[in-house]
């Protein structure tokens, strides 16, 4: 339940700063695990958003993996829409891996959220 509350807080912050287009959520949080330990999120900026020009410390924290892991239990990757990084991380998030972290041919779903 704590992860769900943390996700809600994180989404509220993203809405306030209005720089995120979408979040793609994966990890034990969306895989039916009884006691999920964390969640993996690919955060996608709004098209045309210039983070360097508009950044504030609070905005920077919301896109920093060290901060989001500690504050929300979120493993975070950040990318621009339709970039090479977006497509590569989407591929990684939807591919089933073995316990040894080896990729398989199996695919899995993700949760897409528009904050």
Is the pLDDT score of 100 beyond 70?
yes
Share of the chain above pLDDT 90, in %: 49
* Amino acid 51: pLDDT: 63
Own/partner pairs, 24-29, CB within 8 angstroms, 24+ separation: 24/89, 24/90, 24/93, 24/110, 24/111, 24/112, 24/113, 25/110, 25/111, 25/112, 25/113, 26/93, 26/94, 26/108, 26/110, 26/111, 27/75, 29/3
Average pLDDT on 23-42 reads 80
* Amino acid 53: pLDDT: 66
The class (CATH top level) of 2-113 is alpha beta
Domain boundaries, the chain: 2-113
């Amino acid at each position: 339940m704590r992860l769900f509350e943390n996700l809600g807080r994180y989404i509220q912050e993203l809405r306030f700063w209005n720089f995120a287009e979408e979040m793609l959520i994966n990890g034990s949080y969306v895989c039916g695990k009884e006691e999920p330990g964390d969640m993996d999120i690919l955060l996608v900026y709004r098209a045309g958003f210039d983070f360097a020009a508009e950044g504030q410390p609070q905005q920077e924290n919301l896109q920093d993996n060290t901060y989001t892991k500690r504050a929300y239990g979120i493993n975070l990757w950040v990318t621009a829409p339709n970039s090479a990084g977006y497509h590569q991380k989407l591929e990684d998030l939807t591919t089933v891996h073995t316990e040894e972290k080896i990729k398989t041919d199996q695919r899995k779903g993700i949760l897409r959220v528009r904050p």
